[in-house]
Amino acid sequence: MKKTALFLGLSLLSSAALANNYNTQIDFDYLTADNYNEANLVGTYYFNNVSTANTAWSEAAFMGRNDNVSLGYTNNDGDAYSLTLGGDYYHENIFLGLDVTYTDVDGGDSDTGFTGEVGYFFAQNWLVSVSGSDEEFSDSLALNTKYIAVLSNGAFVNVEASYLNADSDFTAAADYFWTAQSSVGLSLKTEDDYNVGINAEHFFTPAIAANIEYVSYENDDTISVGLTGRF
């Protein structure tokens, strides 16, 4: 009887572990260049369980349209830091996002800025939005789109693009998921000093992932590595 109860408990624990649902995500990224380093830590809480069933795991919250609130800390090479409080809200096909960022620069200067985004889902995984910030509002406006295609072989493709009003720059990025857990991506921009960006991510377990990104600029290159934890 005790053995039966033990096996039942282990079975239930195993089922819970394989359910791939989570409410909290912690992301840590470290970026380095020749004369610059940046560390970024973000915690996100989802008000409803996020499911990775039939999704690209890194895009589960977007595909599930899960409301959330987040708090982030960024240290810019020891010379400045910023705190960001943000949130995403989905109502049927309407999307609303808001970030409030407080920045403190070594020497006593500080500033608080707001960034907002309003969008609409024209299809299940296709969002078109407009974003902007309170500083130099017209120059900060951007038209954005994001689409995730679900392929027949269990693979996914994520495509994102933005048109930036300030200098009429255009950015585009694509990620190919050959499995729900693994992806590689490419990003391109029309900015004068930007060449190309390459990234990859893999979930080793439903709760732990690692990513890496390389970006080539005309005068410098950056490499960032990151870890994600979910529970």
Q: Domain holding 172: CATH number?
A: 2.40.160.40
Distances (CA, A) of 1 to 10, 12, 41: 14, 17, 47
Q: Would you say residue 125 lies in a domain?
A: yes
The pLDDT, as a whole number, for residue 219 is 87
Tell if the pTM clears 0.85, that is, is over it.
yes
Residue 7 domain-assigned (yes or no): no
- Listed in sequence order, the DSSP H helices in the chain are 2-18, 60-64, 137-140
User: Residue 177 belongs to what domain range?
Assistant: 23-230
Residue 110 lies in a domain: yes
Which are the contacts of 195, defined by CB distance < 8 A and separation ≥ 6?
A: 215, 216, 217, 218
**Cα gap 103→94, rounded to integer Å:** 30
> Which residues of the chain register pLDDT less than 50?
1-19
Q: Is there a domain that residue 138 lies in?
A: yes
Residue 153 is assigned to a structural domain of this protein: yes
pLDDT for res 46: 98
- Residue 6 falls inside a structural domain: no
Identify whether the C-beta of residue 81 lies closer than 8 Å to the C-beta of residue 75: yes
φ, ψ of residue 15 to 5 degrees: the values are -60, -40
Question: Residue 183: inside a domain, yes or no?
Answer: yes
Task: Please report the pLDDT score of residue 78 as a whole number.
Answer: 78
Residue-level pLDDT at 136: 81
Number of domains in the chain: 1
pLDDT for the residue numbered 167:
87
Report if residue 182 sits inside a domain. Answer: yes
| pLDDT for 80 | 93
Q: What is the pLDDT of residue 142?
A: 96
Given this model, what pLDDT does residue 135 score? 82
